[in-house]
């Protein structure tokens, strides 16, 4: 008993470690996206999110005042000032340079020789002194580069940019309009089909099961264009619009059915045979058995597939652009955020904020149904019909 108990303890400990590992593995990137979405855009480029709570060094460019700011002092012409704005956050310069190719050529406090007796000194606090034996000329000041430390800076401007951009609210509702029916429809169809394949005997049953398993390995990209041509042909034949919500619902249903039927059949086939036989003896039909017995017992696996399907449809961009189009009144959230990123040159602060905005709803769905997730996936894995 002690050995068995020891093995049981080791087994449980190993399972807990594995669960902890995967939790950390998925939590760290999510935390990184959240932190990055709240950082200043300049600091996102300068350092990783793990450095967001400490000062970071950034290379910047600036221009000194022109000749109109010079003053004569001790027989020299001098231009003085500070590279940092007055009243701004405390910053320090570690090095500076005069060329973009060498922005940290001189240490802070060193005197740089600009030729013809002209010197430039930039100190750690940002103050500078440029001196020349003869008067400065020209309308443009000296271009300088410097590496300066910046304190952590967090902002909600990124979220304001994303959430209050024109069309975001509409695209959010469009995504819900696509995702909810595209999740419910395949579950309804797959549940009926899974029960029939698990407990009803009819010709061609084994062949249908083999075809469904084979469809699991068919890539979406391979079937997308043939399916679109077929759908367009049907639309032209009946004279109905093709870029509609009905089309994308049917597309997602078709792509999700093989996995749904396979998952649900594995679970339903593992239900106790005695329950089915007792119901039949009491005179229950297959439909009554399915509605009153199978569906209530299958809720965990239905919830598991709902999570998978919801996540896939919510994050989809390709199928939405092909079957729904890019009109303002139909564009989904992923397509709208993609367009926003394109118009802004792929700004990192917009990218991370958009990524976190898109995962908020899937996270709510997952945590609402997560207690059924593992149970639904593991059920039926040992016994199948």
pLDDT of residue 3: 46
User: For 25-57, what is each residue's pLDDT tens digit?
Assistant: 888 888 888 888 888 877 777 677 887 887 777
Average pLDDT, the chain: 82
Segment among 17-31, 56-70, 132-146, 336-350 with least mean pLDDT: 336-350
CA distance from start to end of the chain: 34
Task: Give the span between the Cα atoms of 288 and 12, in whole angstroms.
Answer: 40
pLDDT of residue 78: 92
Task: Give the span between the Cα atoms of 346 and 332, in whole angstroms.
Answer: 19
Selected residue with higher pLDDT from 89 and 167: 167
Residue 309's pLDDT band (boundaries 50, 70, 90)?
A: very high
Task: Give the span between the Cα atoms of 298 and 265, in whole angstroms.
Answer: 10
Identify whether the C-beta of residue 90 lies closer than 8 Å to the C-beta of residue 82: no
Task: Give the span between the Cα atoms of 340 and 17, in whole angstroms.
Answer: 41
pLDDT of residue 5: 47
Phi, psi of 177 (to 5 degrees): -65, -35
Is the pLDDT at 7 greater than 70? The verdict is no
pLDDT of residue 345: 52
Selected residue with higher pLDDT from 233 and 93: 93
Q: Residue 270: CA atoms inside 13 Å, Cβ hemisphere, count?
A: 18
pLDDT of residue 342: 62
Identify whether the C-beta of residue 282 lies closer than 8 Å to the C-beta of residue 214: no
Stretch 289-314: mean pLDDT: 88
Q: Which CATH architecture has domain 56-150?
A: Sandwich (2.60)
**What would you measure as the largest C-alpha separation in the chain, in angstroms?**
114
DSSP state letter for 292: I
Tokens, residue 325: 């189009």
- 238-256 burial: b if 16+ Cβ within 10 Å, else e: eeeebeeeebbbbbbbbbb
User: For 329-360, what is each residue's pLDDT tens digit?
Assistant: 788 888 888 777 765 555 667 778 888 888 88
DSSP state letter for 140: S
Is the pLDDT at 374 greater than 80? The verdict is no
pLDDT of residue 38: 87
Q: Which CATH architecture has domain 159-378?
A: Orthogonal Bundle (1.10)
């Amino acid at each position: 008993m002690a050995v068995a108990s020891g093995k049981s303890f080791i087994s449980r400990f190993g399972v807990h470690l594995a669960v902890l590992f995967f939790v950390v593995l998925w939590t760290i990137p999510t935390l990184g996206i959240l932190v990055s979405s709240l950082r200043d855009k300049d600091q996102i480029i300068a350092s990783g999110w793990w450095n967001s709570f400490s000062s970071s060094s950034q290379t910047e460019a600036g221009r000194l005042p022109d000749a109109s700011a010079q003053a004569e002092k001790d027989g020299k012409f001098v231009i003085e000032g500070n590279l940092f704005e007055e009243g701004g956050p405390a910053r320090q310069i570690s090095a500076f340079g005069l060329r973009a190719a060498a922005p940290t050529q001189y240490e802070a406090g060193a005197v740089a020789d600009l030729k013809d007796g002209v010197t430039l000194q930039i100190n750690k606090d940002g103050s500078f002194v440029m001196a020349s034996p003869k008067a400065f000329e020209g309308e443009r000041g000296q271009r300088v580069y410097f590496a300066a430390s910046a304190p952590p800076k967090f902002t909600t401007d990124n979220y304001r940019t994303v959430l209050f951009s024109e069309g975001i609210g509409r695209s959010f509702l469009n995504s819900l309009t696509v995702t909810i029916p595209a999740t419910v429809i395949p579950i309804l169809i797959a549940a009926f089909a899974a029960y029939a394949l698990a407990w009803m005997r009819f010709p061609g049953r084994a062949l249908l099961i083999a075809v469904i398993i084979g469809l699991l390995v068919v890539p979406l990209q391979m079937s997308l264009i043939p399916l679109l041509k077929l759908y367009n042909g049907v639309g032209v034949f009946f004279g109905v619009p093709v870029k509609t919500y009905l089309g994308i619902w049917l597309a997602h249903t078709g792509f999700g059915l093989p996995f749904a039927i396979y998952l649900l059949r594995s679970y339903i086939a593992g239900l106790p045979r005695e329950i089915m036989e007792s119901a039949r003896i009491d005179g229950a039909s297959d439909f009554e058995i399915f509605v009153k017995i199978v569906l209530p017992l299958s809720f965990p696996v239905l919830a598991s597939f709902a999570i998978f399907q919801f996540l896939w449809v919510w994050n989809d961009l390709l199928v939405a652009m092909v079957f729904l189009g890019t009109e303002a009144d139909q564009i989904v959230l992923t397509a709208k955020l993609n367009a926003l990123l394109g118009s802004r040159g792929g700004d990192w602060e917009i990218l991370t904020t958009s990524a976190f905005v898109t995962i908020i709803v899937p996270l709510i769905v997952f945590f609402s149904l997560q207690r059924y997730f593992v149970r639904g996936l593991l059920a039926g894995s040992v016994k199948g019909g």
